[in-house]
Amino acid sequence: MPAGYEPSGRHSDFFSNPGTSSFTQFLSQTAPELLPGRRPLPPGYSADMAPHATTVVSIVCANGVVMAGDRRATAGNLIASRDIEKVHPADPYSLVGMAGTAGIGIELIKLFQVELEHYEKIEGAMLSLDGKANRLATLVRNNLGAAMQGLAVVPIFAGVDLAATDPAKVGRIFSFDVAGGLYEETGYDGIGSGSLFAKSALKKRYRPGLSVEEAVTLGVEALYDAADDDTATGGPDLTRKIYPVVMSATVEGTRRHTDEEVGAIAEAVVARRMENIGG
């Protein structure tokens, strides 16, 4: 029986008294076995037990950020999924993507979304962008035990800093390591097995002040380059019409770009590469 419940069916005092603004801390007090990092794991290395998600990139643009992720998940040498979604809105002004063990990564993103919503409901105000990044770092750190057994998740977080006074610093990107280390990036970043190739493409093409549309195109091109050299990264699937998930966050809020929009950009990228293989 989960902690916090009585045989009578009544909730414990945890549910009726004013508590913490952290949903994760609340859950650790009432039902800690529900947290991803608190579940017992069998001994040994478990990385081959679950599908893995790979490449996500994020780019700073005018008045915000763009984040794009490919759609492939792999299990060893097999394609486990062709249409997994690795990029999600964290709240109305920020985005989060993940690479690593797919199931844990999706659960971590959902927990992070609830964490931010819970804070806003309890405190009556939104966390700062740095505060959101710190909360996500804590969630990653709590999964360290599972990560040491191969079930690692590494997220990427980006959003709009509503308190920024410098227009050039409205969009910000944060990366993490498997132990919960938090690092702010400049201009662009990527995670996953194809990130080396994606960031190499971004390094050649990125410039400050990109429009949202230019950043979306740059993100799709970077994922195409990553898929060209990394088997775990999926390129645009023109036959099945499966395209990268692309989202933007600006002062007007978050937006997922439609498959029609991304598909048109992906087809244009492929057409250009047929004329010039090197890009």
More confident residue, 3 or 197: 197
Model confidence pLDDT, tens digit, residues 237-277: 999 999 999 999 999 999 999 999 999 999 999 999 888 77
Q: What's the rounded mean pLDDT across residues 208-235?
A: 96
What per-residue string of b and e applies to 117-154 under the rule 16 or more CB within 10 Å gives b? ebbeeeeeebbebeebbebbbebbbbbeebbeebbbbb
- pLDDT more than 70, % of the chain: 83
* pLDDT for the residue 146: 82
pLDDT at 181 over 60: yes
Which domains can be identified in the chain, with CATH numbers? Answer: 51-275 (3.60.20.10)
Model confidence pLDDT, tens digit, residues 73-129: 999 889 999 999 999 999 999 999 999 999 999 999 999 999 999 889 888 889 999
Chain-wide mean pLDDT for the chain? 88
Is the model's pTM score more than 0.85? yes
* Residues assigned a catalytic role: 54
Per-residue confidence band for 151, with pLDDT thresholds at 50, 70 and 90: confident
